[in-house]
Structure 1
Amino acid sequence: MPDADGYFGEDIAATYDESSPDMFRPEAVDPVVDLLAELAGDGAALEFGVGTGRIALPLAARGVPVHGIEMSRAMADRLRDKPGGDSVDVTIGDFATTRVPGTFAVAYLVFNTINNLTTQDAQVACFRNAAEHLRPGGTFVVEVGVPDLRRLPPGQTAVPFRIGPTQWAFDTYDVATQAMSSHYVTITDGKAAHSSIPFRYVWPAELDLMARLAGMRLRDRWGEWSRTPFTGESTKHVSVWEKVAG
């Protein structure tokens, strides 16, 4: 990793919100907050990988107590500097293993953050950590893309997802290990700079098994936060697992 903040240090945190402006629009945020507030009810919420507070801050503004776990101090600093930032408690640490005080009605991971855990063992540990924080009947919510392997012809390992005059972005896949990396090429004043972030892609059925190992069972799975059906053509899923009472 580049530094103690992992791959989301000061250079990434400084422009993180601006790099994905569509994700901060009300039409992207409101359905997420609506569902999480419903699942939280009169309880508290725990966000794994809270980042700059895109979801945590509006959820806290709804009256839901929110605690976040975040490895990057630079990202957490951006959250604290925003209006309402003092309403979200943040613990610095790895969300696969870091424990915080309290019991929660809902724990959640959004925007492919489960893929930041680059081994299967770490992803399994994340599910166990979520279950240990939840009260009986509490829920764990994950939003993550479906691996885009159908776009890979034999011999190809890269799939582009953003092509523009000054930036190219593409994912590379290793189908033997489920390792993937997102690559960004940015052109400034005629010079190209390249950066990459490693991930591990994971299938819905594999996540269901991780949940079972942690004492949870699948309750719902949708193709979007608006609760559209999940189908074979869905490019992502929002899944809800419930901690089994007793």
Structure 2
Amino acid sequence: MVDQSRLWDAHAAATYDTPGEGMFAPEVLGPTVERLHELADRGPALELAIGTGRVAIPLRERGTAVSGIELSAPMLARLREKATEEEIPVVHGDMTTARAGEGFSLVYLVFNTISNLLTQEQQVACFRNAASQLAPGGCFVIELWVPQLRSLAPGHGGTVEVSEPGYLLVDTYDTLAQQVVSHHVRFEAAVDGARGARIGRTPHRYVWPSELDLMAQLAGLQRESRWADWDRSAFTADSRSHVSVYRKPATGSLD
């Protein structure tokens, strides 16, 4: 089993933030924060795998009290450079078991992070852990990519997802194990006529939307909405990602 805390090491923490660009771009981050603020409905929120605070910090600034759970000590240290424990309390631990309290109006897990859990059992445990910390009537929100298996050519086990100057992303699939490895190739400036490259690999367990819905049922949650993006655009067969909202019943208890 891959130790995810070692994947998100000091180098990853130091290079994770890209202010104003990529997933930190206002057009990406703005709708995410606004929708989560609405779903929290003036109650407290809990972010699983809070990382360096990409979403948590602007969500707190928007007016929602945010707590977090984070496995990587270097990522948490980077967050602490930007927000204190009093501002954003964080439990250092695994999002399948660690607890930050209970009675949260919102628990959320963004940017494909549930796929970092590499077994179905871990992913189900994550749902159950999230549900146990929700207040009755609260919601669990997941942002996740849709597996692009239709892009696989017959006899080929990989796809080129990104090809741009200085960067190449190739995904390779093991469809029997429902695993995908992302190969990140970053090309370095030429030195003495030679151009080097740095390769990083991140494993994932891909999850179909319908499988997520079953995990939610096992955790006592009900699917309320599914959008293609944070702007609430319609989810279709051609959507490459989705935002799914699961609600904990306002009355009754989990099995």
TM bin, normalised by shorter chain, reads over 0.9
Matches within 5 A, 1:1-246: 5-18=5-18, 21-82=21-82, 87-188=87-188, 189=190, 190-244=195-249, 245-246=251-252
Letter in 2 for 1:154: P
Residue by residue over 1:105-145, the C-alpha shift from the partner in whole angstroms, topping out at 9 and shown as x without a partner, is 01001000010001000000000001000011110000000
Give the secondary structure class of the aligned counterpart of 2:75: helix
Query: Which consecutive residues of structure 1, in runs of 5 or more, have no partner in the other structure?
Result: none
Q: CA contact under 8 A between 2:102 and 2:132: conserved in structure 1?
A: no
Normalized against structure 1, the TM-score is what?
A: 0.95
State the distance in 1 between where 2:45 and 2:186 align.
37
SS across alignment from 1:118: coil
Q: Is the 8 A contact 2:90 2:100 kept in 1?
A: no
Q: Quick check: 122-131 or 149-158, which moved more?
A: 149-158
Matching residue's letter, 2:158:
A
In the aligned structure 2, how far is the partner of 1:165 from the partner of 1:231? Answer: 31
Shift in Å, 1:193: 2.4
**Is contact 1:3-1:9 (8 Å) kept?**
no
Amino acid corresponding to residue 34 of structure 1 in structure 2: E
| 8 A contact 1:111–1:143 mirrored in 2 | yes
Distance change >3 Å, CA 47–CA 5, structure 1 → 2:
same
* Greater Cα offset, 185-194 or 118-127: 185-194
RMSD over equivalenced CA pairs, Å? 1.8
Q: Which moved more, 1:20-29 or 1:169-178?
A: 20-29
Corresponding residue SS for 2:126: helix
Shift of 1:5: 2.8
Amino acid at match of 2:96: A
Instruction: Please give the secondary structure, in 2, of the residue aligned with 1:5.
Output: helix
SS in 2 for 1:154: coil
Instruction: Count matched residues.
Output: 246
CA 1:20–1:74 in 2, change beyond 3 Å: closer, same or farther?
A: farther
Deviations 1:46-79 (A, max 9, x none): 0011011111001111221101111111111111
Shift in CA distance, 4/156, structure 1 to aligned 2, threshold 3 Å:
closer
Asked if 1 retains the 8 angstrom alpha-carbon contact of 2:180 and 2:203, the reply is yes
Query: In terms of mean alpha carbon deviation, does 84-93 or 60-69 score higher?
Result: 84-93
In structure 2, the residue corresponding to 1:18 is in which secondary structure? coil
